[in-house]
Amino acid sequence: MNKLGILIAVAAVFSLAFAASGLSNVAQAVNDLCVGLKNMLPVAAMLMIILAGVIYAAGQMMGAETRARANVWATAALTGALIAILIAVVAPSVLSSIYGGTWDDNTGLTGTSFCITP
């Protein structure tokens, strides 16, 4: 057997070992993902809105071609902020439906501690 085959076999054994040990923490991983999204995306959206305003204002002081490019960039930043806010609002219910259970706005996923900051 060549070296590449041995390397692939060893990698497969290690990946199976790591995958088997991580299956018990799926609920915690989904919770961490949800908490991370709820904490990070609104801040990123606010920064993108501020950046869009700065780009738009700076573009108004430039020539016609640069002004047009600045408007496009500012619009892209505002669109990104809108998508980030939409993801932050929708992500808890989507992740709870993927994970299973019903969503409660006060406690998260009923029966477990889902999407709650530790």
Enumerate the domain spans of the chain. Answer: 26-109
Secondary structure element (H or E) that encloses residue 109, with its range: strand 108-109
pLDDT at residue 14 greater than cutoff 90: no
Residue 23: pLDDT band with limits 50, 70, 90: very low
Q: Mind listing the pLDDT tens digit for each residue in 67-82?
A: 999 999 999 999 999 9
pLDDT for res 53? 96
Distance CA 90, CA 34 (A): 10
Phi, psi values for residue 108, rounded to 5°: 90, -140
pLDDT for res 84? 93
In this structure, are residues 116 and 108 in contact, taking their beta carbons and an 8 Å threshold?
Answer: yes
pLDDT for res 117? 60
pLDDT for res 46? 96
Q: Mind listing the pLDDT tens digit for each residue in 36-64?
A: 888 899 999 999 999 999 999 999 999 99
